[in-house]
Amino acid sequence: MRECIRCGEQMKEGCAIRVEGSATGIIMSTKENAMFSGRIGYPKVAICPKCGEVSIYVENVEKLK
Q: Contact 5/53 with Cβ under 8 angstroms?
A: yes
CA atoms of 18 and 26, how far apart (whole Å): 8
Q: Is 50 in the site for Zn ion (CB under 5 A)?
A: yes
Q: Is 13 in the site for Zn ion (CB under 5 A)?
A: no
- The least distance separating Zn ion from the CB of residue 20, rounded to whole angstroms, comes to 25
Write the single-letter amino acid at 34: A
Could you tell me where the DSSP H helices lie in 3-57? none
Part of the chain binding Zn ion (CB under 5 A), chosen from 4-12, 22-30, 34-42, 55-63 = 4-12
Q: Is 7 in the site for Zn ion (CB under 5 A)?
A: yes
What is the binding site for Zn ion (CB under 5 A)?
4, 6-7, 9, 48, 50-51, 53
